[in-house]
């Protein structure tokens, strides 16, 4: 299935994509949130959704706003320098263990929402990433294979970053990651069973129509299953939690000289099987 949330900010309703249309499931579930995933919601709605599609009970998407495909999660966990080719472009040594930092859950916005440059920023950057959505409460997984059953699905993410705040303001990465609008996600969450090989997905990002990032998840240093198992040894993963898994080369920080976002720039990005997104950059409040 492909889950999406439709409607104005704060009033999104849960739906399931059906080609160019969608099935409204707001009478079946309150939202795609911790309660939904934790109570086996994916399995519970599969039958009714199939029945409604067969009966033609679908709706045209039209120009309705698409929000993030999950409600605000308990936590957004992020992995740094997780692509060997991205580590090379930054001059960093590939890590022996995953680099973990957090991103404020209130950074989550929809795939076509504006991205706002924070006050005082001169180094706001882009990062196309594969996002993992956790499907059940998870801790101390016995092995990497067990991680497969803990994953609800995957989502396209833009891990927007302010590099001065991240690198030059005391070494706390979260300061450069948690400004408002800094985590566009979607357009939809694709359940794990619909992804042929999560370790071989093409990904890309353009700025104003010019290709900046081109990559593939096969160059990940730590793949999604390893990451979920690894993180479960240190903290409890809740249903609906989001894990951003790192970015391929082509970020503004890695250009010579570095290039950063400015108001009016348009970011267009996509990952194979997960759809595409588009965000316009706007200035500070």
Q: What is the pLDDT of residues 247-272, one digit of tens each?
A: 999 999 999 999 999 999 999 999 99
| Residue 91's pLDDT band (cuts 50, 70, 90) | confident
Strands (E), 137-262: 151-158, 161-162, 183-184, 189-191, 202-207, 210-216, 242-244
- Sorted by sequence, the CB contacts under 8 Å of residue 101 that are 6+ apart come out as 77, 78, 80, 173, 174, 177
Structural element, H or E, at residue 3: strand 2-6
Mean pLDDT of 108-113: 98
| Residue 90's pLDDT band (cuts 50, 70, 90) | confident
Radius of gyration over alpha carbons of the chain, in Å?
A: 18
Give the Cα separation of 128 and 58 in Å (integer): 31
Residue pair 250/204 in contact by the 8 Å Cβ criterion: no
Sequential DSSP letters for 26-49? TTT-S-SSHHHHHTTHHHHHHHHH
Instruction: Give me the count of residues in the chain.
Output: 285
Q: Which residue has the tokens 């991680």?
A: 147
Question: What percent of the chain lies above the pLDDT cut of 70?
Answer: 100
Question: What pTM value is reported for the model?
Answer: 0.96
Give the Cα separation of 284 and 23 in Å (integer): 37
- Sorted by sequence, the CB contacts under 8 Å of residue 263 that are 6+ apart come out as 117, 281, 282, 283
Q: Report which of 74, 172, 122, 155 is spatially closest to residue 283, judged by C-alpha positions.
A: 122
What sign results for the dihedral spanned by CA atoms 181, 173, 199, 135? negative
Q: Where in the chain is the domain with CATH 3.90.850.10?
A: 71-282
177, two tokens: 């990651």
- Is the domain spanning 71-282 CATH 3.90.850.10? The answer is yes
Task: Provide the pLDDT for residue 87.
Answer: 72
Q: What is the pLDDT of residues 14-60, one digit of tens each?
A: 999 999 999 999 999 999 999 999 999 999 999 999 999 999 999 99
């Amino acid at each position: 299935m492909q889950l999406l949330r439709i409607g104005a900010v704060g009033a999104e309703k849960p739906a399931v994509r059906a080609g160019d249309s969608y099935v409204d499931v707001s009478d079946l579930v309150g939202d795609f949130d911790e309660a939904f995933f934790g109570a086996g919601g994916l399995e519970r709605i599969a039958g009714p959704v199939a029945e409604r599609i067969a009966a033609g009970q679908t709706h045209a998407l039209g120009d309705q706003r698409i929000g993030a495909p999950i409600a605000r999660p308990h936590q957004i966990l992020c992995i740094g320098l997780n692509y060997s080719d991205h580590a090379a472009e930054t001059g960093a040594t590939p890590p022996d263990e995953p680099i973990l930092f957090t991103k404020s859950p209130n950074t989550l916005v929809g795939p076509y929402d504006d991205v706002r440059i924070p006050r005082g920023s001169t180094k706001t950057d882009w990062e196309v990433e594969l996002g993992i959505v956790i499907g059940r409460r998870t801790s101390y997984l016995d092995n990497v294979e067990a991680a497969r059953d803990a994953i609800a699905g995957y989502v396209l993410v833009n891990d927007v970053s302010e590099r001065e705040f991240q690198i030059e303001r005391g070494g706390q990465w979260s300061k450069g990651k948690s400004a408002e609008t800094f985590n566009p996600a979607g357009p939809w969450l694709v359940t794990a069973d619909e992804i042929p090989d999560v370790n071989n997905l093409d990904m890309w990002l353009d700025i104003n129509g010019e290709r900046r990032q081109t990559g593939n998840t096969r160059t990940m240093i730590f793949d999604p299953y390893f990451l979920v198992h690894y993180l479960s040894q240190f903290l409890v993963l809740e249903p609906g939690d989001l894990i951003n898994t790192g970015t391929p080369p082509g970020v503004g920080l890695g250009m010579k000289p570095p290039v950063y976002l400015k108001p009016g720039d348009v970011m267009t990005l996509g990952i194979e099987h997960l759809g595409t997104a588009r965000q316009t950059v706007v200035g500070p409040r």
